[in-house]
Chains A and B, each alone.
Chain A
Amino acid sequence: MSVAAKVASWPARWQQRIWRRSAADSGTVVLRHRRIYILPTRRGLALIATLATMLIASMNYALALGFALTFLVAGLVASALLQTYRSLAGLAISPLAAGEAFAGGELGFSLSLASSGGTARSIFVATAQGRSVRLDIDAGATQIVQLSAEATRRGRQALGRVTLWSDFPLGLWRAWAYVHFPLAGIVFPSPEAPAPPLPAGHEGSDARRSARAAEAELAGLRDYQLGDALNRIAWRAVARGAGWYSKQFDGAGGRGPLDLEWAALPPSLAAEARLSRLTAWILAAEREARAFGLEVPGLSLAPGQGAAHRRAALTALALFPAERVP
């Protein structure tokens, strides 16, 4: 890096060093004085103000013991400052894992905190959303902290900047440090509820699908729901003026794999609603232990079964780029 470039990037580097706004921490971060900030708490300020008053009274009345008391407490406050600093210093933080969640649920993250050095620590770990977890770590112990965040919208959700802070031992000082790991969890679309029943499955190949559909036995009618396929509507009932019903088929064509297709969904459905329905169907298929394939624009997943397959399908939906909507 040239000198000019270094100078030019200087403000940005310092902003990053102070605020840790971008997720640039990697590996294990050991908290040292460069990362630890410390300021008096409100109670600490009140005590310092009291000490200032005591100092003025001692000066005015020339109270030698007043000075001694004031300075003794000042020494205690100064010592508490170092103790508070020590409750964060030397703490080693490593990112462990980020979880998965459906939008609207709770996304979990885990970090590992190792307390090197001979101090038991009492600290708080807070996420950017303001959720705080209290941790008591014994000297030399390693502890795993589970953080959770509200999963707001589908896609990748970063843990964001984590604040570790402590006001141990007297609550007069608060030391804090930021760590910002590139740790992100996956938020699946929230499943539609209640969702329409699964579409018909088939036995292997596409060619035999319509035949399979015809073979399916009519199991009954149920109330029409917006988005039901046109060929499922009980037109006869509509013609009779009995109202709108959808036909339900028993087994929907047997135990064959399902095809969960973006294109097969009613065109009136918005993109996010389609993703929600597909999610709900994936979950339903999983519950009924049926294989399914997934076909969304730009991506097609061969029929399959099992946790990995389900996860791949849900991840595909979670990361489905909105601009790819046809």
Chain B
Amino acid sequence: MIFAKSSAAPLARAQLAWLAALVFLSQLPLLPHVPLWTAAAGMALPAARLLLPADRWPSPRIRPWLLPLLALALAIAIRMRFGYLLSRDPCVAFLYVLVGIKFAETRSARDGGLLACLALFLLLTQFFYTQTIGAALITLPALLVLGGTLAALRDAPPPGADWRAPLVRTGRMIFQGIPVAAFLFILFPRLAGPLWGMPADAGARTGLSDRMAPGSISALTLSDEVAFRVDFQGPPPLPAERYWRGPVLSRFDGEAWTPLPWLRRGELAPRSAGQRIVEYDVTLEPQGRQWLFALEHPASMPQRAADGPPQSSGIDRAMLTAEQQLLSRTPPLQTVRYSQRSALGNGFPASGTLEARENLQLPPDRNPRTVAFAHELRERSASDRGFIAAVLQRFRTEPFVYTLSPPLLGGEPVDDFLFDGKRGFCEHYAGAFVVLLRAAGIPARVVTGYQGGEINPDGGYMIVRQSDAHAWAEALLDGVWQRFDPTAAVAPSRVERGLGAALPLGEPVPYLARVDMTWLKSLRLHWDAINYQWQRGVVGFNIERQRGLLRELGLDLGRPWEVVIVAATAITLWVAFVLGSARLRTRRADPAAELWARANRRLARAGLARAREEGPVAYTGRAAARWPRWRSLFASLGENYALLRYGPESARRDELLAALRANVAALPNVRTLRATV
């Protein structure tokens, strides 16, 4: 074999160290996304390989069996943990431990090459879970180490070799490759949808739930995570108008609220006079749910934003339920962006008599004190509206406390809350309010969603966070569903100024919901603006944005020959750039050699090539003999170059170089030389 190299030779210590660094850096970003024991197993194996001396390892006779058995055992464990194996998350977990196992059994450079490939793929899998700026940055050191590892596998570095040099070299190569990467990133055709179906776990995120039990929303409000961002055309609505409608809960089992088990298609409410229409674009983070949030009440179906990510396709066929909730056809797996119009206002007509009956249901024999109180209060009130006003008045005047940490409720939670504890969060108020109304014979239901939103002065858009999650109520009065927010009765500032203003001092408030700490807040808002640009510009770069960009550049992917010409030109330019920049560096390195080479080229073209072993003085002597007219010029040329090249290092160097430059400039051109012979 001409190209034989011993790739089966055992790995040197330095090669192993490079591989270990690569494995570590590829496993690191996945730590938050794999089960803890998987993470431990995947990282312990490489550590064991590195730390335990080779003779402590099992004998070579059992070693071939040990690691496959371990892999099998871990595969079974992962299967049991996830309930399935051939799906994205278990595959990632398995790949994670597989990289560790492969490292533990890597013995030759060939194994090492395979391991590097596995680690590179593992590096990609973190983007299934997060595509933030941080996730992008954390892969960069891993890329440098990948280059260092490949270089070390090619040629084992001697002990004590400088480990930074390969990193620098790889960095330079990555830098040179950036035009290629950018070109591919912009031009590579994007798909409008997935190649194959994706399992449902692909988008499981934190967010609202369709089951509201005491504590479910308050748990959510501790999170600063962004739920969605909104760009308004025109001025944003007032804080009290920012009700983002989510799941509507009509079923109550005495403790928890759930939606109706069936889905009814609804129609957009007719527009009434005096309603203000707002238009806006929502950038929704994936929540693993079909819900599309809109301000109450939607006046249009969502339209995929022109610059939206490709997987917004479920949005094109979105539907509206009879409860005026917008649903995407499939749960968005990625950030989606849609344009929406809403008619700000309170109230829309019910879709039928069925709704009234469905929203009167109460579990029998539960919360008896509440039911009795409602009956009594209804009798004292003149009308349904009067009753509702009396209930709200009661919330306002009785010592109800708005708190994130309510006391534990007993077997009859609504009774306990209304008459004993009187401390609760929005889900307690909304739930108790609806129970009271239903007990009084008024159809009512719980609406969940987000209330509020913070304008980011940096980008002029609104951020709605998980901490803005909220629950309110709706009552059917005179055939119209009207919104009532009992929380606002207890803590008006919750609606006006947000969670942080509404909670008593000393409550654990999420950082960004706090009213003070302005500098921190402004810092975080700047950061969010950067993130938003990142999400829209990089993560959201998709088929539509690609088309838009290419249209601006005057390029049409539909005409392949155009793409071919552009690609060919770009490749040529890039190759010329990379190879040429190296040549330029060389020229700068030794101007004397470059001048001498130029003189040699000219004389060679005139028919007098320098022999390989010929020195400068001998060569110019030959030239002087051939072209006696320029004898002195040739003599000076040879002498100057010889002095520069072989003479002592002296201060005259610059002078000599100038003289040489003058000599070369004075050389007659090829035609003259040829003619003179």
Tell me which residues across on chain B come within 8 A of A132, comparing CB atoms: 2, 4
**B72 on the interface (CB 8 Å rule)?**
no
Tell me which residues across on chain A come within 8 A of B174, comparing CB atoms: 72, 75-76, 79
Known: A62-B310, A63-B131. A54 touches B195 (CB 8 A): no
Whole-angstrom CA separation of A172 from B149 in the bound complex: 12
Q: How far is the CB of A114 from chain B (nearest CB, A)?
A: 9
Whole-angstrom CA separation of A136 from B179 in the bound complex: 31
Most chain A beta carbons < 10 A, residue from B169, B173, B575, B612: B173
Q: Are B184 and A76 in contact, CB atoms less than 8 angstroms apart?
A: no
Give B337-364 as 1s and 0s: 1 = Cβ < 8 Å from A's Cβ atoms. Answer: 0000000000000000000000000000
Which B residue's beta carbon lies closest to that of A136?
B155
> In chain A, residues 119-137, which have Cβ atoms closer than 8 Å to a Cβ of chain B?
119, 122, 124, 126, 130, 132
Tell me which residues across on chain A come within 8 A of B188, comparing CB atoms: 67, 71
**B622 on the interface (CB 8 Å rule)?**
no
Q: Are B180 and A60 in contact, CB atoms less than 8 angstroms apart?
A: no
Tell me which residues across on chain A come within 8 A of B589, comparing CB atoms: 118, 139-140
Whole-angstrom CA separation of A42 from B116 in the bound complex: 13
Give B134-153 as 1s and 0s: 1 = Cβ < 8 Å from A's Cβ atoms. Answer: 01100100010011001101
Tell me which residues across on chain B come within 8 A of A67, comparing CB atoms: 184-185, 188
**A50 on the interface (CB 8 Å rule)?**
yes
Q: Are A60 and B173 in contact, CB atoms less than 8 angstroms apart?
A: no
Which B residue's beta carbon lies closest to that of A48?
B117
Tell me which residues across on chain A come within 8 A of B184, comparing CB atoms: 67, 71, 74-75
Whole-angstrom CA separation of A130 from B4 in the bound complex: 8
Q: How far is the CB of A76 from chain B (nearest CB, A)?
A: 5
Q: Are B146 and A60 in contact, CB atoms less than 8 angstroms apart?
A: no
Give A71-84 as 1s and 0s: 1 = Cβ < 8 Å from B's Cβ atoms. Answer: 11111111110110
Q: Are B578 and A79 in contact, CB atoms less than 8 angstroms apart?
A: yes
From B116, B182, B311, contact of A62 by CB (8 A): B311
Tell me which residues across on chain A come within 8 A of B542, comparing CB atoms: 62, 64
**A267 on the interface (CB 8 Å rule)?**
no
Q: Are A64 and B538 in contact, CB atoms less than 8 angstroms apart?
A: yes
Secondary structure of the B side of the interface?
A: helix
From B131, B180, B195, B585, contact of A59 by CB (8 A): B195
From B124, B575, B590, contact of A69 by CB (8 A): B124
Give B521-548 as 1s and 0s: 1 = Cβ < 8 Å from A's Cβ atoms. Answer: 0000000000000000011111000000
Which A residue's beta carbon lies closest to that of B193?
A62
Whole-angstrom CA separation of A76 from B143 in the bound complex: 9
Whole-angstrom CA separation of A134 from B538 in the bound complex: 45
Give B141-180 as 1s and 0s: 1 = Cβ < 8 Å from A's Cβ atoms. Answer: 0010011001101110000000000000110011011111
Q: How far is the CB of A37 from chain B (nearest CB, A)?
A: 12
**A174 on the interface (CB 8 Å rule)?**
yes
Which A residue's beta carbon lies closest to that of B173?
A79
From B154, B195, B540, contact of A169 by CB (8 A): B154
**B1 on the interface (CB 8 Å rule)?**
yes
**B583 on the interface (CB 8 Å rule)?**
yes
Q: Are B136 and A75 in contact, CB atoms less than 8 angstroms apart?
A: no
Q: Are B3 and A176 in contact, CB atoms less than 8 angstroms apart?
A: yes
Tell me which residues across on chain B come within 8 A of A214, comparing CB atoms: none
Q: Are B114 and A46 in contact, CB atoms less than 8 angstroms apart?
A: yes
From B121, B195, B586, contact of A53 by CB (8 A): B121
**B277 on the interface (CB 8 Å rule)?**
no
**A65 on the interface (CB 8 Å rule)?**
yes
Which B residue's beta carbon lies closest to that of A142?
B612
Whole-angstrom CA separation of A223 from B417 in the bound complex: 125
Q: Are A117 and B583 in contact, CB atoms less than 8 angstroms apart?
A: yes
Tell me which residues across on chain A come within 8 A of B195, comparing CB atoms: 56, 59-60
Tell me which residues across on chain A come within 8 A of B146, comparing CB atoms: 73, 76
**B60 on the interface (CB 8 Å rule)?**
no
Which A residue's beta carbon lies closest to that of B126?
A65
Q: Are A54 and B124 in contact, CB atoms less than 8 angstroms apart?
A: yes
Known: A28-B612, A72-B177. A118 touches B586 (CB 8 A): yes
**A168 on the interface (CB 8 Å rule)?**
yes
From A50, A64, A75, A140, contact of B178 by CB (8 A): A75
Whole-angstrom CA separation of A243 from B446 in the bound complex: 127
Tell me which residues across on chain B come within 8 A of A62, comparing CB atoms: 190-191, 194, 309-311, 333-334, 542
**A58 on the interface (CB 8 Å rule)?**
yes
- How many chain B residues have a CB neighbour from A under 8 Å? 69
From A64, A73, A82, contact of B120 by CB (8 A): A73
**B579 on the interface (CB 8 Å rule)?**
yes
Whole-angstrom CA separation of A175 from B210 in the bound complex: 61
Q: How far is the CB of B94 from chain A (nearest CB, A)?
A: 15
Known: A57-B124, A70-B124, A169-B154. A64 touches B579 (CB 8 A): no
Q: How far is the CB of A249 from chain B (nearest CB, A)?
A: 53
Whole-angstrom CA separation of A46 from B153 in the bound complex: 14
**A304 on the interface (CB 8 Å rule)?**
no
Q: Are A165 and B179 in contact, CB atoms less than 8 angstroms apart?
A: no
Tell me which residues across on chain A come within 8 A of B575, comparing CB atoms: 82
**A94 on the interface (CB 8 Å rule)?**
yes
Whole-angstrom CA separation of A94 from B128 in the bound complex: 56
**A299 on the interface (CB 8 Å rule)?**
no
From A49, A68, A130, contact of B185 by CB (8 A): A68
Q: Are B177 and A78 in contact, CB atoms less than 8 angstroms apart?
A: yes
Secondary structure of the A side of the interface?
A: helix
Known: A54-B124, A71-B184, A73-B143. A60 touches B198 (CB 8 A): yes
Q: Are A170 and B198 in contact, CB atoms less than 8 angstroms apart?
A: no
Whole-angstrom CA separation of A118 from B586 in the bound complex: 5
> In chain A, residues 20-36, which have Cβ atoms closer than 8 Å to a Cβ of chain B?
27-28
Known: A43-B113, A47-B117, A61-B194. A69 touches B131 (CB 8 A): no
Give B29-61 as 1s and 0s: 1 = Cβ < 8 Å from A's Cβ atoms. Answer: 000000000000000000000000000000000
Which B residue's beta carbon lies closest to that of A129?
B2
Whole-angstrom CA separation of A69 from B593 in the bound complex: 42
Q: How far is the CB of A282 from chain B (nearest CB, A)?
A: 34
Tell me which residues across on chain B come within 8 A of A78, comparing CB atoms: 177, 180
Q: Are B311 and A63 in contact, CB atoms less than 8 angstroms apart?
A: no
Q: Are A74 and B582 in contact, CB atoms less than 8 angstroms apart?
A: no
Tell me which residues across on chain A come within 8 A of B333, comparing CB atoms: 61-62
Tell me which residues across on chain B come within 8 A of A73, comparing CB atoms: 120, 143, 146
From B1, B147, B170, B538, contact of A68 by CB (8 A): B538
Most chain B beta carbons < 10 A, residue from A47, A71, A130, A168: A71
**B196 on the interface (CB 8 Å rule)?**
yes
Which A residue's beta carbon lies closest to that of B118?
A50
From A28, A140, A168, contact of B590 by CB (8 A): A140
Tell me which residues across on chain A come within 8 A of B147, comparing CB atoms: 76, 170
Q: Are B2 and A75 in contact, CB atoms less than 8 angstroms apart?
A: no
Whole-angstrom CA separation of A118 from B582 in the bound complex: 7
**B389 on the interface (CB 8 Å rule)?**
no
**25 A-B residue pairings within 8 Å (CB atoms):** A43-B153, A47-B116, A58-B124, A61-B127, A61-B198, A62-B542, A63-B131, A64-B539, A64-B542, A65-B135, A66-B127, A70-B124, A71-B184, A74-B177, A75-B176, A76-B173, A78-B177, A79-B174, A79-B177, A79-B578, A117-B582, A117-B583, A118-B583, A169-B154, A174-B3
By a beta-carbon cutoff of 8 Å, the part of chain B in contact with chain A is 1-4, 110, 113-114, 116-117, 120-121, 123-124, 127-128, 131, 135-136, 139, 143, 146-147, 150-151, 153-155, 169-170, 173-174, 176-182, 184-185, 188, 190-191, 194-196, 198, 202, 309-311, 333-334, 538-542, 575, 578-579, 582-583, 585-586, 589-590, 593, 612
By a beta-carbon cutoff of 8 Å, the part of chain A in contact with chain B is 27-28, 42-43, 46-47, 49-50, 53-54, 56-80, 82-83, 85-86, 94, 117-119, 122, 124, 126, 130, 132, 139-140, 163, 165, 167-172, 174, 176
In the A-B complex, list the 5 residue pairs whose CB atoms are closest, starting with the nearest: A75-B177, A171-B154, A118-B586, A75-B180, A75-B181
Given contact pairs A75-B178, A170-B151, a sample of 18 additional A-B residue pairs in the complex whose CB atoms are under 8 Å apart = A27-B612, A57-B121, A61-B127, A62-B334, A64-B538, A64-B542, A65-B131, A68-B185, A69-B127, A71-B180, A74-B177, A76-B143, A82-B578, A83-B173, A117-B582, A132-B4, A168-B154, A169-B154
